[in-house]
Amino acid sequence: MTQTSTSNSLEISSRERLIVALDVSSSREAFSLVNELKDEVGAFKIGLQLFSAEGPAFVRELVDIGAKVFLDLKFHDIPNTVAKAAVEAARTGAWMINVHALGGREMMIRTSDDVREFCIINSIETPKLIAVTVLTSADSLTLNEIGISRDVETQVAELAKLTALSGFDGVVASPMEVQTIRQAVNDVGFLVVTPGIRQNTATKDDQKRVTTFAEAMANGSDYVVVGRPITEASDRLRAVYEILS
């Protein structure tokens, strides 16, 4: 396999780095996407929309047919609540789960400790634990509106450092901040998962900080998340091939 990222010594193919967002409202729609794409992509993301409609049982169904699932619920609450929720997320067999880094160090440490202990006791694989830095739909104006005076790049760097210190495996961030994260966190194994991927940057939908798959890989992303450019394409397989090329 060809190394496509300088951040991790483990060689992973471009296909394995591609996570398709199942931004649909029913298991029927989701299964259609998974059955069509599971041999061409690395994993599937279940977010709030699909999880609210189908629940944890559906996550287990996908895991049972061999799909890798990124459970994107962005937990953000008091440490005890998030830790318990994350343990339940791990119970589904999800490959990756996330929280909001703004929940703070205590929340992330408690979550990391509890999830890892649960997985050891139950002899199951520990999911990748990652934290959201700044949503790709946000910019510096958005941060200012909620009382954060830092610019996006600085905020992402500080939250990435906090996440690493809290024992998490990586962060979610725009591909535009990947190199900043690499400079802030001196750990080649620290994962950076990047949404906001488009076939061309002229199409942004509701995202503000976007780039292409190739640019994200060149910047050092470990995994990229793509939703509508694939799921809403008239030919989904062709859309996957075009993104990977």
Residues with a catalytic annotation lie at 74
> 3-state class of 167 per DSSP?
coil
Q: How far is CA 150 from the centre of its chain?
A: 23
Residue 125 CB neighbours (<10 A)? 10
Rounded CA separation 245/242 (Å): 5
CA angle 197, 199, 200 (to 5 degrees): 100
Terminus-to-terminus CA distance in the chain, angstroms? 15
Cβ atoms of 143 and 155 closer than 8 Å = yes
